[in-house]
Structure 1
Amino acid sequence: MHDRIEIRMFGRLFVRRSNGAVVEADEWSTGKTTDLLRLLALNNNRAVSVHSIIDKLWPDVEEDKARASLRTAVSRVRHVLDEPCIERHLGGLVLRNAWVDVTAFQSAAHDLGAALRAGDHARVVSLAREAEALYVAEFRAYDDKSFWATQTRDSLLLNRQALLADAGESALKLQWMRDAIDFSTLAISEDPCFERAHRTLMQAHSALGEIELALRAFEHLRVCLSQELGADPSPQTRALHIQMLSAEAPPDVTRRPFIGRDTQVASLAADIRAAIAGEGCDVVCLTGADGSGREALLDAAVARVEHAHLRHLIEDGRRTSAAQRLARLASDRRSDITVWGPTDNDPVPDVELFRTFLTGIDADVPRVIVAITSDEAGDLLQAQLAGGRVTVHRQQVGALTDGDLVALATASLSAPPTPRLLAELRDQSERLAGRAVAILREWIASGWIISTMSGVDLYNDAGACAGAFPVGDYFRTMLEQLTVAETELCQLMAILDRPVSGEALRDIVHADQDRPAHVHDVQTSLDELADLGVLRVTLCGYEMRNRALRDAFEHRLRPAVKARLLRQVRDVSPRQAAAG
């Protein structure tokens, strides 16, 4: 199978031939040869003039000798890569049939900017993770202090800084505080005087209740600005600092729309309209378990009724006198809907108290009352008021469907949830809307939400959640310790995204006949990766230690390689199932 050449220039030069073989460093013969490859790769599929190449690589050499050196270097690149990948075009040289990590990084940065302008903050975060998986170290060249190498390195670094700042602010808007901390910490590690990143870090820590860490971030910025630039933090940053010192949280003006249960909202709205159009006193009995979202459902239904308003009665006691006093406060305007409850105590006393309340109002005066209570109390109330002067409308609020639960989680988290998060939410909330919203808010406030390639997930690495070690830094440190074979094994594990045994993984690795097998002893490699902390051992086999690390390995894959691995896994899995 003919593949493209793979060229990675972030950090140490890494080149893989189209047949899958990795080029060893000593095969290039000279450093100028590698710099020629870098120059052409930076302009992948675009012609670079011979004069420009000579000016950058052999500036102090006579033109005839420089051209001879260029011809030698071109010949060497073609020989090492074992194909005519460098062509002459429009008086220059062009590199063909190559995938380049710098080009992929720049493409992700461009798409991120478009997503930011469109207000798609979830995509901004996703593209930033993709770009970070490529930017494992600064761009380096053989002639590392040359103008072209320095200019390229600085340009890429500035792109990365802007990308990290944008992603951190987008994560902050989405309330993905751990992602915001991760991105801003990475940006600050490159430039300690970067105020945008410091403000994001301060706000994210403050939102999680980590005021001490937020204040430390400000102090770190103040010291760095003073020592490096002889300056003070900007007024915007100082205002944020004062806000944190006074423990004043900015008002949360975000109001999420009501999600799901359209049929029940429409039915309740119809009951309210019918009650408003009635001739006497109408009671809409809204029942369900505590945490089922009865009040949110009522708000959504009333929003569909023209000129309708809710007036909540404030209960100040369980005595009969309190019920009689509240009766005098019940509005007699048809558009004012009086709300009693919620009451979720003993059903019998609750119903008696509500009936006392009803005796204090004139049943012949048209008015609408909504009673929010339990299912048991609703049954009693409906039975006792049947055939009387008060018209009763009954609406029961039950558990959410799986589809509505997914929609609710997606709206609350600003991105689709992973199956793992959804299963945990389903178990804890029992599919009750109010409980689900409260649980999601608690997860957000506690910083347990993180974006992954599969959706928003619960972070399962307590150490990383402490904010001390960003995922990007952890991934770079990990890559430095891994061999090419171990990196490829991790990429395969990321594609599998499930626990797998050594035997099953060995079958997948050796199933690819078109590329050389770099992993000869799969079991030994798996054990070494587990010792390094990349994998963890479970009863079902080996799996990635956490979602963020898995995503980083998958983001680093070339699209063509990812597609090949997916086909490889798909082809081997049925054979394994048949053999089992």
Structure 2
Amino acid sequence: MRCHVIELRLFGGLDLRSSDGRELESILTQPKRIALLAFLAAATPYRLHRRDTLLGLFWPELDQDHARAALRQALHGLRQGLGTDVLTSRGDEEVGVGEQRLWCDVRAFQHELEASDWSGALELYRGSLLEGFFLSDSPEFERWLEDERARLRNRACQAAWTLAQRSKAEGDFARAAHWARRTAALVPGDEETLRRLVTLLDDLGDRVGAVQVYEEFAKRVAVEFEVEPAAETKALIALVRSRAAASPSALSRAPAAQPPSAVSTEPAARRFTLRGKRWVVATIGVALLAGVMAIRHQQANARLSHASVGIVAFENRSGDTLDAYLGDALTEDLTRSLSAAHVLRVFRVRQARPDLDYILTGSVRHAKDTLDVTAQLERNGSGEIVWATRLALRSQGTITVPRALTREILDALGARAATRTERTALPPDPVAYDLFLRGRYEASRRTTPSLGRAVALFSESIHKDSTYAPGWAGLARALHQANRWGFPVRGVPSDSLLNREIIASDRALQLDSTSVDAWLTRALVSEDVDPTGRAPALQALRRALAIDSLNAEAWDQLAMALEETGRRDAAGAAWQRAVALDPGRLNALAFLAIHYWWWRAYDTAAIWADSAVATDPLYGLGRIVAGQVALARGRHDEAESQLDAARRLPTGPGSAGLSGFVSLAVAAGDTIAARRLVAQAEARADPAAPDNHSVVNIAAAYAALGEVGRALAWLERYRPVRDLHFQLHLRLDPPLDPLRNQPRFRALLVDKR
């Protein structure tokens, strides 16, 4: 019973009615007041909220006195429209709503879930939280709203899927299909949910329905993202279609038998010779055997489509520092080869994790002219050795190892590649391949000396074999890194870096237009050619995803391009997709943390930053992001610990954590140390042509010191000012907040493209 209670409905729109059913227009026509009421009623945990919290959510642009006055006015308006007993308070600093006088569908939804009344909860969930509602001047409220929308949608999905499984177990197949379709409708872009729906419909015998929902999904992602469904989704629907073709209903449509021909009345069996009989029997036998093997491979592939294997870096037992690249190179190429088979979910891991099904370990040893490779696949948890091998090769046989191991692993699991793996142009000269591996290893270290060595090694590889596309792509990427970070490259004038980058990228695509790496490199190069636009980069990234929609690196790059062009939700979804495909992908983990840090969702940012640090404690960007997020949350001790850890790494923090270090020094009252840090960063930057990260970080450091003029002067040095990545930092970096009301700062901002 809800007699004499005001009703507030937030799912699928907005509705507020008095106890007699009248719409309370006086509040509904005031967006800030209704948003405040919605937050007080729906924010979890359900409790009183401090006024300081509400000021930051709804009036961040006002000073303390004016913000408090605005809050008092809003609360007064709510009390006038709702009645004096709907809002509750404790002292002068805390305010909330009385559940006995105001009923809210969001709270009721939560109560139904806690009572395991899944259908009751779904009756209340009529759409996204505050669907279509937006407060442009309250970014903190918008971030809270986005997070709550996602959380409540996920809870609704879980409820619907629970009902689908329960109905299936009870034999009510119609209800099972209904609730499964409801689950998919709640998250129309989630491919994992689509596969669950297709599998359930297939299990229920509704193969037409399964194919129909797949085709609708395929059309939608083609229009919205210009990509195709993932390979495992295609494999699943192919299996469904094959069963539908072989089902009794399909067989019943076969044409009726024709009457025997009048030409010959001799029994059919007598018209075959013994040799003919043997040929027919043998042909039928081979066809049946091929069919059985194909079905077994399909069944194995379907069984393994959700299985995961973690590849631990191969141990290098060579004993020579010059061979340090071998273990990393073999691990990288085997990961790529096994992933390209689209059978298993493949991750690079530092050690075994409980969420993985299989663990692959191995070693490599180079001695004189021989290469000794060992590998074994272990069922995680049980310790059972599923497969093991040892390869003894000539030292120039490295190139054959990843594909050979991939074939053996799939054979051991009874599977085969679900799709054609990406074509790789193999160099006829193994020395060129070895030089390429060395170059890739050096480029991954991202220091000035190692990047110079990478460029030299890639160039030498190309000189040895000019038809090797990965060598050209590797060279283009190394030159891009030097260009982006302002690293000098011996023998390459800085003003010719971009031209050489373009030539190398073009050559890679001319040699192999089906290479994902070549298209990903083209996207990076196009950003250097025109930093003010992303259309060519987005086109190249979509070409890469059309070749391999399960490539985590492609989704990672796509996310940044989307963020730079102002597509916040799509960027977050793309980074989430990258992490779903590769949970150990450090760059995506770190940038998901940065994504939420940019949008001031600091608690969510902390989760992703912690995940990046836990995945690899030696990953500098992860440490820096964790420190910046901790600082934003007011946790100075934690911030100091993370930033100090970044400082102790071999690569150092560079300028990335500068504002964090300066803020900590200022908070400790040590402005001398803070200014010393800024001076050191200024000395490292090129004052005539600084890179955008140096400019932004030095400006943020001066903002932390309260020196607004110097901060703005550094920002004004960067060219081109319309560089989308520079604009991204200007729009979103929290350390630049003290500058946002300055006319000189606003003059730097341009429209997003």
Q: Name the TM-score, length of structure 1 as normaliser.
A: 0.36
Q: As a proportion of its length, which structure holds more helix? A: 2
> Greater RCO between the two (CA within 8 Å, min separation 6)?
1
> Radius of gyration: which is bigger?
1
